[in-house]
Amino acid sequence: MGSDGKSHHHTFDYWIELTDGWRVAVAVKQEKKRKEMNEVLDRILAKGSPLFDDAILMTEKYANWDAYANAADIVWSREHHDAVEVNKLMGELKGRSTVQFYQLLTQQEFKTRNIAIWRLIEMGHLKAKRPGRITQTSWFNVNL
């Protein structure tokens, strides 16, 4: 129901199902429409839906080139990682609380190690200390 008292329809841009079964509808709009869209989402959530458990708004504020570049490296690591190298790196990180990206690189296995680092970032075992583009000088908290 809209603020005008009439029934309206909204098409979400994305629908995400998390591994625990939680379903999220994602609306993508310009940041300048945030206030208006948050009101719409609040009304939709108040009514409830059998199709999703939560609804969120994403704007260009979140979709920047740094986030895109990080996401591209994460997707690449999903498809090209070596499980043996990932497990080896996890073993090396046990007992550490922080680490810098370049400290994890080895000359002999540079490519496979780089991919393994990105895989651990996606898995949540390496969490960047600062937002932005992840580079070889980035620092991480280790979560094993």
Side chain identity, residue 132: G
- Complete domains list, the chain, with CATH: 14-61 (no CATH), 65-142 (1.10.10)
Please count the helices (runs of H) and the strands (runs of E) in the chain: 4, 6
Cα 103 to its chain centre, rounded Å, is 24
Percent of the chain at pLDDT > 70 equals 98
Mean pLDDT check: name the lowest of 49-53, 80-84, 99-103: 49-53
Distance (Å, whole) CA 102 – CA 117: 10
Q: What is the pTM of this model?
A: 0.63
Side chain identity, residue 5: G
Contacts of 72 (CB under 8 A, 6+ apart): none
- Averaged pLDDT score across all residues of the chain: 91
pLDDT tier for residue 2 given thresholds of 50, 70 and 90: low
User: CA dihedral defined by 119, 123, 124, 126, rounded to 10 degrees?
Assistant: -20
